[in-house]
Structure 1
Amino acid sequence: MKRRSFFKTTALGGSVVALSGVSACVSNDQIKAEINLADFELNEISVTELQQKMKAGELSSETICQKYLDRIAVVDPHLKAVIELNPDSLSIAKSLDEERKNGKVRGPLHGIPIMIKDNIDTGDKMQTTAGSLALVGNVVEEDAFIVKKLREAGAVLLGKTNLSEWANFRSTNSSSGWSGRGGQVRNPFCLDRSPCGSSSGTGAAVSGNLCTIGIGTETNGSIVCPSGINGVVGIKPTLGMWSRRGIIPIAHSQDTAGPMCRNVSDAAILLGALAEFDPNDGETHLEQGKIYNDYTPFLKADGLKGKRIGIASQLIPSNEKVKALFIEAVQTMQKNGMELVEDLKFENNRKWGQPSYEVLLYEFKADLNKYLAEYPSAPRKSLAELIEFNNANADKEMPWFGQEIFIEAQEKGDLSSEDYLKALEESKRFAGKEGIDALMDEHNLDALIAPTNGPTWSIDWVNGDSFTGGSSSPAAISGYPNITVPMGFVEGLPIGISFFGRAWSEPVLLEIAYAFEQLTKHREAPDFRKSLME
């Protein structure tokens, strides 16, 4: 499955602004007529820094949220990363400020503005649509499990982000970041380039400093690819560490939400705040492991010392400039105590893709039908009804690409099918037990590494994505953790490096990722160029 990763309603200062349609290009004059999009008072500020400023009385949560809302009003017309703003965000922030004044601080996320992907339920005034016009009006009654934990932690839900419609599981010819409801998300480093997907809006919003932290979801690459391509840190947790209850599904055997942040420290804070085993979540196929509510103790500047790390050579993109960045990254890690094992190959590298895709087709039909049937507010109640809606509204929903994947999934049987059960067993075995686990056992490894992505490509609604390589599949299919960190730039376009390993190995991966980040400091704020030729 290629990695690709909407009528748009936002509330600004109490008024509702509707934006619809997709602009074929971004006017350079239009950009220059605005203030400098790269200039922002809170640019690159971290969770810890904001907490310090709120503690000192320099800023309040309400003031911080208003600054982000003002920035969104200026920047997002060019970026289209935000699909909907929370009309209650300022009042929530104000109440959290009152708590702080009265001596109650819930934790490191108290008063911190966050954006989440629009396939995650929020029991408030915002819709949950997966970017599709077919679900416009779906205002649910209950928060997703992870949203409940966000609110308990004191985070301010600023709004929801645009995405590749249906988390990019509708067409084989799609454009990452495009949805019928929100239009086309753009890459903040170069506005005519893809943001990857499907968590396109979260990646672009976090990178573009439209919020402090964000949440995306991944089935295969949908957190790590837009994180790498937008120059931010992304964590795809072990399956089951974060509950999937209340998230529009693709496949319960691979789906998970995860942090998307500008630095590893913020990502670790968010990871721990939402980590909790949910007995009412769908099956994960993995045994429950050790879950922490605080992952910051694993942020060690010397975290590379004594680590034995293997290069997954089959997952390195062919681009020579990406290879050069990767070699430089590896050399830096070696100089700081890492022991390297080179040129490791997955024996079943070509065997896990097709069975995994079959699993997604079967589970998408079953899981989505179950989700839609349980929601009174959902305008459509089944995959069949969604297909019918898209056909009836093809001018708005399918102007550039179709719904071949929907149709394939609809033709599948139920989850008792022998073909499904065989594909499930094979995909997990090839990527997990005989994949990541086998390599790590044989070579006594702490982690595996590879570039997260190749350089991003030009947005092309006619031909779809021109994906330039990635390393997400083994961790995604097995359900194991994967962390991507900025590795540098190719012609001004961000490239990430991925650290992945066994199930429940987030602590050791965070040690490695944080140490690499602190040594290299490759993260830069985007400059919102119109094109590479600008």
Structure 2
Amino acid sequence: MPRCRGSHMDRRSFTCRELTQCYLERIEKINPHIKAVIETNPEDLVIADELDAERRTGIVRSGIHGIPFLVKDSTEAYSSRGGQNRNPYNLAEHPGGSSSGSASALAANMCAFSIGTETDESRGDAVHSVPCELRCQADSSVIFPADRNAVVGIKPTVGLTSTLGVIPEAPSMDTVGTFGRSVEDAATILDIIADESSLPDSQAVTDPSRKSYTSWLADKGALKGAKFGLPLKQIWKAASESTEHKSEYDALQTLIKQMIESGAQIFDVDFPSAEEIISSDGWNWAYAADVVAYNIEHTDTEGGIPGTHPAWPTGQDNFDKCIESKEFPNAVYEEALTYIRLKSREEGIDAALRHPGGELDGLIVPLQADGGAACSVAAKAAYPMITIPVGVNDSGVPFGLGIIQTAWKENLLVKYGSTVEDLVGPRHRPAFLNLDAENWFYIGSPPQ
């Protein structure tokens, strides 16, 4: 049974109320340092009692009946309500992105699992004057926080999970993903929140990928005969040249050798469109705020006006562009979207997966050492991705290995993500280095 399921509750080892109280006490002790949780449900214990009563009468809604969890509500690890979220492994280091509260809370054991969201910032010569739907919040908002907090993150194919209740930013790329302390946990939650009605007609009921995602869990023995690709241009080449991430690169290369020793075949591949859609500088940042008027009025905390807040030096220029674009979608947007999808899908991920040696089981990528370029390609394509914890770097911050697949192939990500997890062994637990750090993160040039 995965850790986030209710087997202990089935045996009445403890109740939902007791588990909820345990997490609330943990939040009370840890959150003042990590600042991952903005608020808890004021009716949580009432709801816990109701769910306990249901379980006593034999009503069990799902495998996570009565299990407390957290959902994303801040951006770039900062909010005026919650303050600056920190990394529980090293509080002086960045926690990883806009879903970092969900990931760091889970890593610090303030919940059993959590939910994040992700969208993308598209860039390139073809999209300089594109409306905001293609120039919004940065990508990797599930993958990076998971990677830097040593938890498993699954970013599903866009459309597999409902975005009801999520503030829309880029409908062609917005998706809700899952965080777990194991692949099994993350897959369990994906089974529950996935909307099978969104699957294309080509995914017939007899298609094996329609089975539960947890049914694809495997150990390292399943690596025998598996085929993976290493995208070189702008991805692994960039990682190999990074002095900052040398220890991570070396560790990932060692892991790849272990995969080969376990029977996997690893091929060098490329995204044919790599130079066209991946910046030579890696991942570029662009940021958005919430409500334009509110941000201007409260610019000291929200940074609505350029130069008034160290975390948001550029103000809310993306929102200004949204207002200027007026009509959406329009012909320029549609043209840009078609271009981005062509370059990231047919001439990107799908092309790399089609290898002369046979269709690949996934593309293996570094997640920080390449500057986030691989995450960006997956986001542009609206394709699924998983990250598996591997180790911690010289600063004590976790890093992991990512696997990318084509649309609707989350089942293969679960299968091979769990094989890598079995090969790596237990994840590192938070060390809470620099517990008293009072640093504030900023974007762009250091504030004066």
Report the equivalent of 1:351.
Answer: 276
Deviations, residues 143-197 of structure 1 (Å, cap 9, x unaligned): xxxxxxxxxxxxxxxxxxxx21xxxxxxxxxxx3112222110000011111111
Instruction: Kindly report which structure 2 residues correspond to 1:285-434, keeping only aligned pairs within 5 A, or say none.
Output: 289=203, 292=210, 294-301=212-219, 302-313=221-232, 314-316=234-236, 317=239, 318=242, 319-342=245-268, 344-352=269-277, 386-398=291-303, 399-400=309-310, 401=312, 402-434=315-347
Q: Mean Cα displacement is larger for which, 469-478 or 89-98?
A: 469-478
Q: 1:513 to 1:115 in 2, by over 3 A?
A: same
One-letter code aligned to 1:102: T
Contact 2:272 2:351 in 1 (8 A): no
CA separation in 2, counterparts of 1:255 and 1:277? 17
Contact 2:230 2:365 in 1 (8 A): yes
CA separation in 2, counterparts of 1:468 and 1:238? 22
Report the equivalent of 2:104.
Answer: 204
Pair 1:84-2:84 in alignment: no
How far is the alpha carbon of 1:55 from its aligned partner? 2.0
Contact 1:481 1:501 in 2 (8 A): yes
Q: 1:416 to 1:75 in 2, by over 3 A?
A: closer
CA separation in 2, counterparts of 1:183 and 1:97? 34
How far is the alpha carbon of 1:470 from its aligned partner? 5.0
How far is the alpha carbon of 1:61 from its aligned partner? 1.0
How far is the alpha carbon of 1:323 from its aligned partner? 1.2
How far is the alpha carbon of 1:288 from its aligned partner? 7.2
Deviations, residues 330-387 of structure 1 (Å, cap 9, x unaligned): 1111122211102x22221232369xxxxx99xx99xx9xxxxxxxxxxxxxx8xx32
Instruction: Kindly report which structure 2 residues correspond to 1:31-50, keeping only aligned pairs within 5 A, or say none.
Output: 46-48=3-5
How far is the alpha carbon of 1:246 from its aligned partner? 2.0
CA separation in 2, counterparts of 1:61 and 1:470? 42
Instruction: Kindly report which structure 2 residues correspond to 1:69-468, keeping only aligned pairs within 5 A, or say none.
Output: 69-118=24-73, 163-164=74-75, 176-219=76-119, 220-277=139-196, 289=203, 292=210, 294-301=212-219, 302-313=221-232, 314-316=234-236, 317=239, 318=242, 319-342=245-268, 344-352=269-277, 386-398=291-303, 399-400=309-310, 401=312, 402-443=315-356, 444-454=359-369, 468=371
Q: TM-score, normalised by structure 2?
A: 0.81
One-letter code aligned to 2:18: T
CA separation in 1, counterparts of 2:418 and 2:436? 30
How far is the alpha carbon of 1:531 from its aligned partner? 6.6
Contact 1:304 1:511 in 2 (8 A): no
How far is the alpha carbon of 1:303 from its aligned partner? 2.8
Match of 1:494 among 398, 408, 421: 398
Q: Mind listing any 5+ residue stretches in structure 1 that lack a counterpart? A: 1-44, 119-162, 165-175, 355-359, 369-382, 455-466
CA separation in 1, counterparts of 2:55 and 2:62? 11
One-letter code aligned to 1:273: I
Q: Mind listing any 5+ residue stretches in structure 2 that lack a counterpart? A: 120-138, 280-284, 304-308, 438-448
Deviations, residues 8-39 of structure 1 (Å, cap 9, x unaligned): xxxxxxxxxxxxxxxxxxxxxxxxxxxxxxxx
SS at match of 1:267: helix
CA separation in 2, counterparts of 1:236 and 1:421? 24
Q: 1:403 to 1:328 in 2, by over 3 A?
A: same
CA separation in 2, counterparts of 1:107 and 1:245? 20
Contact 2:278 2:373 in 1 (8 A): no
Deviations, residues 101-134 of structure 1 (Å, cap 9, x unaligned): 222222211111110112xxxxxxxxxxxxxxxx
SS at match of 1:484: strand
Contact 1:206 1:214 in 2 (8 A): yes
Contact 1:303 1:514 in 2 (8 A): no
How far is the alpha carbon of 1:412 from its aligned partner? 1.8
How far is the alpha carbon of 1:275 from its aligned partner? 0.8
Match of 2:428 among 514, 524, 528: 524
Q: 1:411 to 1:67 in 2, by over 3 A?
A: same
Report the equivalent of 2:12.
Answer: 57
Contact 1:272 1:292 in 2 (8 A): no
Report the equivalent of 1:472.
Answer: 375
CA separation in 2, counterparts of 1:350 and 1:210? 42
Q: 1:437 to 1:532 in 2, by over 3 A?
A: farther
CA separation in 2, counterparts of 1:322 and 1:517? 17
CA separation in 1, counterparts of 2:30 and 2:176? 26
CA separation in 2, counterparts of 1:340 and 1:111? 42
CA separation in 1, counterparts of 2:373 and 2:329? 32
Contact 1:214 1:260 in 2 (8 A): yes
Identity %: 35
CA separation in 2, counterparts of 1:514 and 1:486? 11
One-letter code aligned to 2:360: L
How far is the alpha carbon of 1:287 from its aligned partner? 7.2
Q: 1:508 to 1:278 in 2, by over 3 A?
A: closer
Q: 1:532 to 1:230 in 2, by over 3 A?
A: farther
Deviations, residues 277-335 of structure 1 (Å, cap 9, x unaligned): 467xxxx9x87746747211100113322211001223233221121011011111112
Report the equivalent of 1:159.
Answer: none
SS at match of 1:450: strand
Contact 2:87 2:104 in 1 (8 A): yes
SS at match of 2:325: coil
Matched residue pairs, number? 389
CA separation in 2, counterparts of 1:288 and 1:177? 39
SS at match of 1:47: coil
Q: 1:338 to 1:293 in 2, by over 3 A?
A: closer
One-letter code aligned to 2:16: S
